[in-house]
Structure 1
Amino acid sequence: MVRLLLILALVAVVFWVYTVVDCAVQPASRHRGVSKGTWMVIVILLPVVGGILWFVTGRTRKNAAPVRRAPDDDPDFLRTIGSISDQDERIRRLEEELAQLDSDEQAPGAPERPAPHRPDEDEPR
């Protein structure tokens, strides 16, 4: 009977150490329910029960789908904002407009445009 209790105590200590280490090394994004610090307190103060709770409810699977918190993390949303070809077309049009504006300003024989009058420049300081 004593041997059985010693073996069970040893298994409980190994399980407890394993759960403490597992809870500590998991990134905070894989802790479910409460914060990482709270899980650490639960696992340390309730050795066997805390470890069981950690594995049953607190730990998420590695391949679990990530929780999306922002629209730019959602692939469906990203598909709806336009394709690359739309962006390329817009960039091409803007470059053409800028080139046209540059050529209008650089045209030979074109009269220079007067600078806009600013009333605050004429006043003495």
Structure 2
Amino acid sequence: MARLLVGLVALAVAFYVYALVDCILFARVRVRGLPKIAWVFIVLLFPVVGGVLWFLIGRGRKASKRQVQYRTVGPDDDPEFLGALRADPVSDAQLRELEQQFAEKDDPDTRTDNGRSDR
């Protein structure tokens, strides 16, 4: 009889520890009935009964295929972010003017051997 009692106590302690760890590590968004912290206290204060209540009531089911799955998307893969980007506000006329200014500065006829202009 003593062996049976020791075995039942060991089983109860193992169930208590398993229920407590499961409750602490379980995703907060899947907890049902009460807030997660309340379930932790219930499992702590009522070892076997709290664990049974946790598994029957508090522990939510796995996410179904119909539920929306959220994932992080980088900005280069996010169409909303890419749509918010505007093209460079430089007009074609301004671009041609800048290209001409750079061409004038890089013109080899006005340069000397050491890279300075002849001014």
Q: Are residues 53 and 67 of structure 1, via their aligned partners in 2, closer, same or farther at CA, if it must alter by over 3 Å?
A: farther
Unpaired runs of 5+ residues, structure 1, are: 74-101, 103-125
Distance 2:37 2:67 in 1: 20
| 1:64 positional shift | 3.3
| Superposition pairs of residues 106-117 of structure 1, within 5 angstroms | none
How many residues end up aligned between the 2 structures? Answer: 85
AA of the residue aligned to 1:51: G
Which residue identity lines up with residue 50 of structure 1 in the other structure?
A: G
Return structure 1 stretches of 4+ with deviation > 3 angstroms.
64-68
Cα distance in 1 between the residues matched to 2:67 and 2:38: 20
Structure 1 CA distance for aligned equivalents of residues 67 and 29 of structure 2: 9
In 2: Cα distance, 1:41 partner to 1:67 partner:
29
Instruction: Letter of the 1:11 partner, please give it.
Output: L
Question: 2: CA distance between counterparts of 1:28 and 1:7?
Answer: 33
Match of 1:9 in 2: 9
Q: Which residue of structure 1 lines up, in the alignment, with residue 63 of structure 2?
A: 64
Query: Could you tell me which residue of structure 1 aligns to residue 49 of structure 2?
Result: 49
Aligned to 2:36: 36
Question: What is the rounded CA distance, in whole Å, between the counterparts of 2:34 and 2:40 in structure 1?
Answer: 10
Deviation sequence 1:44-94 (CA, Å, 0-9, x none): 100000000000010012x334878xxxx9xxxxxxxxxxxxxxxxxxxxx
**Alpha-carbon separation, structure 2, partners of 1:67 and 1:55:** 22
Aligned mates of 2:67, 2:45 — CA distance in 1? 29
Distance 2:10 2:30 in 1: 28
For residue 23 of structure 1, give the secondary structure of its aligned residue in structure 2: helix
Return the TM-score normalized by structure 1: 0.52
Q: Which amino acid aligns with 2:22?
A: D
Stretches of structure 2 that go unaligned for 5 or more consecutive residues are 71-90, 92-119
Structure 1 Cα separation of the partners of residues 9 and 33 of structure 2: 29
Of Structure 1 and Structure 2, the greater helix share is in 1
